[in-house]
Amino acid sequence: MQHDVIEIPQSTGEAWQKSVDIMADLIDVPAALILKVRGADELEVLVASDTEGNSYASGDVTERHPDSFFEASIQGRTLLRVANAERDERWRSGPAERRGMTSYMGLPLSWPDGEPFGVICVLDGEEKLYSDRAARLLDQFREIINLHLALLFQQHELREKTRFDSLTGACTRRDFFDSGRAELKRARRYGIPVTILLLDFDNFKLINDQHGHACGDAVLKLLTQRIMDSLRSSDKYCRFGGEEFVVLLPHSELEHARLVAERMRALVASRPVEFKGLEIPVTVSIGIARLEGAGETLEDMVEKADKALYRAKHAGRNRVESYERLPDVEA
């Protein structure tokens, strides 16, 4: 999982701010921090206590240095107490990230899958022997933060399950409508063209009937991967239902969408799908619709694309048709 995509809600950030403020007061230090790993080389200060003498601020970024307090906490995965860095050979020549701080106590923070999140810590500009009571207090705050991280992790996993089709890896119908409506809103605001493609694999029922549903599933998975590899990162390929898929193409005029559709059609038809020694030829029919009227909805666009798809099917399959080329007839 890419942990960097998990967002920390504002309400959680506010709760963490209160936590570090209380922590700094109870342990009697000028600085209490929660830091987050940012890539392989950096740490970001997510929250810093609002206390006098704190040389850190929320949003600060520091390097992940092997001789830093923070990195030692992450790699050691246990409590680290440093009473006076100036008297300790390990820390005496440490990096500038100490910012005048002499003493440190910190614990690592982790995601539920064991990947490091960052550090929760306190620092002081003077020598300080952190007591066991202070260490227990820090650990209690660490447990609270880790519970928040577990909840955010679970919520992200649930959202991901609703976003992606479990068989093909394409986005789901629900995600298509959620992201598609947002895309239409942006398109109207900035005058950006948007088109959609509605795809239906031809005679797919025959594949299931002749070779079994396991074969049909394998065909959908392979063709989905083949098509998704041909799209831009900004395009969205979604399973609409059964063997029907839809593609959202932001920043695409009708002619560009037609080129994309023709490329997809040729990509599917160009080589058969291999399954257990069988070579299974597959073709696809595609309908295209673009955003037109000011009040047009995503559902309206799907309906237009469906009419174009109906035309492609009845004109012999393995074809691309756009709604603008159609008379206004019901499918």
38 and 91 in a single domain? The answer is yes
59 and 199 in a single domain? The answer is no
pTM: 0.60
What are the two backbone dihedrals, phi and then psi, of residue 108, each rounded to the nearest 5 degrees? -75, 150
For the cut 90, the answer to whether the pLDDT of residue 2 exceeds it is no
Q: Report the amino acid identity of residue 263.
A: R
Q: Which residue range(s) make up the domain with 81?
A: 3-161
**96 domain residue, yes or no:** yes
| pLDDT the model gives residue 326 | 46
**330 domain residue, yes or no:** no
For the cut 80, the answer to whether the pLDDT of residue 97 exceeds it is no
**276 domain residue, yes or no:** yes
Query: Pick from 161, 183, 209: which residue ends a domain?
Result: 161
| pLDDT the model gives residue 132 | 96
Averaged pLDDT, 170-199: 93
User: Could you report the per-residue pLDDT of 244-301, keeping only the tens digit for each?
Assistant: 999 999 999 999 999 999 999 999 999 999 999 999 999 999 999 999 977 899 999 9
Active site residue 243: yes
Query: Pick from 106, 140, 161: which residue ends a domain?
Result: 161
CA distance 48 to 82: 20
List Cβ<8 Å contacts ≥24 apart for 150-154.
150/112, 152/6, 152/7, 152/8, 152/9, 152/12, 153/6, 153/111, 153/112, 153/113, 154/112
Question: Given 243, 296, 303, 330, which residue is catalytic?
Answer: 243
User: Could you report the per-residue pLDDT of 190-211, keeping only the tens digit for each?
Assistant: 999 999 999 999 999 999 999 9
What are the two backbone dihedrals, phi and then psi, of residue 311, each rounded to the nearest 5 degrees? -65, -45
63 and 195 in a single domain? The answer is no
46 and 125 in a single domain? The answer is yes
181 and 316 in a single domain? The answer is yes
pLDDT band of residue 331 (cuts 50, 70, 90) is very low
270 and 192 in a single domain? The answer is yes
CATH number reported for the structural domain that contains residue 201 in this entry: 3.30.70.270
Q: With beta carbons less than 8 A apart as the criterion, state whether 34 and 109 touch.
A: yes
Eight-state DSSP code of residue 328: S
Q: With beta carbons less than 8 A apart as the criterion, state whether 257 and 249 touch.
A: yes
For the cut 80, the answer to whether the pLDDT of residue 306 exceeds it is yes
User: Could you report the per-residue pLDDT of 25-36, keeping only the tens digit for each?
Assistant: 999 999 999 999
**166 domain residue, yes or no:** no
CA distance 210 to 208: 6
**118 domain residue, yes or no:** yes
Averaged pLDDT, 118-134: 95
Q: With beta carbons less than 8 A apart as the criterion, state whether 246 and 257 touch.
A: no
Domain count, the chain: 2
Query: Pick from 134, 161, 188: which residue ends a domain?
Result: 161
220 and 321 in a single domain? The answer is yes
Percent of the chain with pLDDT over 90: 76
Structure tokens at 38: 């940012």
